């Protein structure tokens, strides 16, 4: 509801203010803010707030990403899917090698897209919608298992909407590479999961790692 409301509201503003496709050095939201507030201090404040929001999003990803790698590396008591070195932490409980791996992956993606955020968004959108789709399909299956047909239908309809959006993004061509990369990573993790004896309880592994 939040994402849908924001999208519809921004679309209505873009139509009302006659904002079209943004230029190479701008974004549609920036163009909307400029048209609504003008070139004064209010527009500058909006841009600063947007930058801080993006910085916070990047910060959260650098917490969640290495944390996931750490959880998948396992502990001394449980086998992990990824190499144990990714679970090593410093006195601040930061999995430093996981941070390095995550930073290297982010750098490669940024360099490949030449730092163009519009190009990055195309690939990012596909990865996000694939995650949404898999999550919704899992929740649909879970709801059916729990015999909750209303929730199963709701998640099923949401999955269909996400699948449609994913297909529209893939029709642009280059984002297919993002889907291929996502499938390759998933296949690699699946192979390593099988080799590790199909360990379960990743959330328990993370809790034990934090306690250690």
Phi, psi of 59, deg, nearest 5: -65, -45
**Tokens read off for 125:** 């959108």
Dihedral over alpha carbons 122, 161, 140, 125 (to 10 degrees): 10
**Tokens read off for 43:** 């527009």
* Cα 69 from Cα 23, distance rounded (Å): 37
C-alpha angle 25-30-35 in degrees, rounded to nearest 5: 115
In which residue ranges of the chain is pLDDT below 50? none
State whether residue 131 is helix, strand or coil. helix
Which pLDDT score is estimated for 125?
Answer: 81
Which pLDDT score is estimated for 171?
Answer: 84
* Cα 115 from Cα 117, distance rounded (Å): 6
Which pLDDT score is estimated for 52?
Answer: 93
* Cα 74 from Cα 172, distance rounded (Å): 39
**Tokens read off for 212:** 């250690």
Which pLDDT score is estimated for 85?
Answer: 87
Could you tell me if 74 and 199 are in contact, meaning their C-beta atoms sit under 8 angstroms apart?
yes
> Burial letters for 198-212: b for 16+ Cβ neighbours within 10 Å, e otherwise?
eeeeeeebbebbeee
Handedness of CA 152, 130, 57, 92 (dihedral sign): positive
């Amino acid at each position: 509801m939040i994402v849908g409301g924001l999208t519809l509201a921004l679309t209505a503003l873009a139509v009302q203010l006659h904002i079209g496709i943004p230029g190479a050095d701008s974004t549609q939201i920036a163009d909307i803010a400029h048209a609504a507030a003008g070139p004064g201090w209010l527009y500058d404040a909006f841009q600063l707030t947007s930058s801080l929001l993006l910085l916070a999003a990047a910060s959260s990803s650098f917490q969640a990403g290495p944390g996931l790698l750490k959880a998948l590396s396992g502990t001394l008591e449980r086998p992990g899917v990824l190499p144990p070195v990714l679970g090593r932490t410093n006195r601040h409980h930061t999995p430093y090698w996981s941070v390095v791996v995550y930073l290297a992956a982010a750098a490669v993606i940024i360099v490949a897209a030449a730092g163009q955020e519009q190009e990055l968004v195309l690939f990012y959108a596909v990865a996000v919608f694939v995650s949404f789709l898999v999550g919704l399909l899992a929740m649909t299956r879970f709801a059916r298992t729990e015999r909750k047909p209303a929730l199963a239908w709701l998640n099923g309809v949401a999955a269909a909407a996400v699948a449609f959006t994913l297909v529209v993004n893939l029709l642009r061509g280059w984002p297919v590479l993002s889907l291929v990369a996502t499938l390759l990573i998933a296949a690699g993790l699946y192979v390593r999961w099988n080799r590790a004896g199909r360990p379960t309880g990743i959330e328990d592994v993370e809790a034990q790692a934090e306690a250690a």
